[in-house]
Amino acid sequence: MTTRHIITLLTDFGNQDPYVAAMKGVILSLNPEAVLVDLTHDVPPQDIIAGSFLLSEATPYFPPGTIHVAVVDPEVGTPRRALAFRDQEQYWVGPDNGLFHLVFRDSPPLDLVSLENSEYFRGSVSRTFQGRDIFAPVAAHLSLGTPLAAFGPTVTDPVTLPWPEASFTPEAVRGEVVYVDGFGNLISNIKGSNLTAWLAEKSHVVILGSLTVNGLSSTYGDVAAGEFLALVGSHGYLEIACARGHAARRLGMGKGRSLAVVKAN
């Protein structure tokens, strides 16, 4: 963990307003050598579950020492805490509202602290834009080598999310759609590795509302254009897609919808 100069940003601010740019300006003012990378700024507004999913999807590909700033923060300015932590490889900074739930699940946090030392904040802290006034400057100071312990006291009880876990029984695997991507693919909370173990190469069907798909495909091009398919996507979760089409619009289905996998025998 030598260099720590890559700083990524994930927010629900969109790209139209000057909010993301303000955060970047604050970071570059403190550390002109920081390398800024946008994860996405199109998290659905105030959707902490989607933000947590997107954060956990994007961050594993970044090098050791990367600092991830995440801001989906409907309670900004209330007494909700602000956090920073690391795992064996990377760093995270953001509000204590469940946004880091899936990061914690994949890798327990080390040196988890509550951001309370205002020495590392902007001179005047707005109650409505802590991304600019707290999270951005803390990330910049982290990139300059400030240890986590300097930012505030240790925390042991971060907020968790009511994240829907998939259930596995001998008869069926049940889960739900947790994210619809820009291609219209309906991504579930059923992990491909767990599903493969459960299937044990038995034939099976995937059921989503009135749609029944036989077996899993390997890639979108395996079926004809316009046909639906089920596959374990690049993120490692079971998804329903439509070859060269937009499954969510075609099916009129979205986030929260239940799906099941049952053996076909």
Q: Which spans of this chain sit near a second copy (rule: CB under 8 A)?
A: 3, 6, 8, 13-19, 21-26, 28-29, 32, 35-42, 45-46, 54, 57-63, 66, 74-78, 126-129, 132-133, 181-183, 218-222, 231, 233-235, 244, 246
Q: Which helix (H) or strand (E) holds 68?
A: strand 67-71
**Closest distance of CB 218 from a second copy, Å:** 5
The answer to whether the beta carbons of residues 71 and 135 sit under 8 Å apart is: yes
Strands (E) across 117-210 are located at: 167-168, 172-180, 186-191, 204-208
DSSP code at position 64: T
**Closest distance of CB 167 from a second copy, Å:** 25
Q: Measured from the CB atom, is 108 or 221 closer to a second copy?
A: 221
**Closest distance of CB 265 from a second copy, Å:** 27
CB count in 10 Å sphere of residue 228: 20
Q: Measured from the CB atom, is 174 or 228 closer to a second copy?
A: 228
Instruction: Supply φ then ψ for residue 112, to 5 degrees.
Output: -75, 120
Q: Measured from the CB atom, is 39 or 174 closer to a second copy?
A: 39
DSSP state string for 8-49? EEEESS-SSSSHHHHHHHHHHHH-TT-EEEEEES-SPTT-HH
DSSP code at position 96: S
Q: Measured from the CB atom, is 27 or 174 closer to a second copy?
A: 27
**Closest distance of CB 171 from a second copy, Å:** 28
The answer to whether the beta carbons of residues 6 and 37 sit under 8 Å apart is: yes
Q: Measured from the CB atom, is 13 or 151 closer to a second copy?
A: 13
Strand 167-168 relative to strand 211-214: parallel, antiparallel, unpaired? Answer: unpaired
Q: Measured from the CB atom, is 152 or 233 closer to a second copy?
A: 233
**Closest distance of CB 8 from a second copy, Å:** 7
The rounded distance, in Å, linking the Cα atoms of 103 and 101 is 6
**Closest distance of CB 23 from a second copy, Å:** 8
**Closest distance of CB 194 from a second copy, Å:** 17
Q: Measured from the CB atom, is 9 or 253 closer to a second copy?
A: 9
C-alpha of 188 from chain center: 14
The rounded distance, in Å, linking the Cα atoms of 122 and 64 is 27
The answer to whether the beta carbons of residues 238 and 192 sit under 8 Å apart is: yes
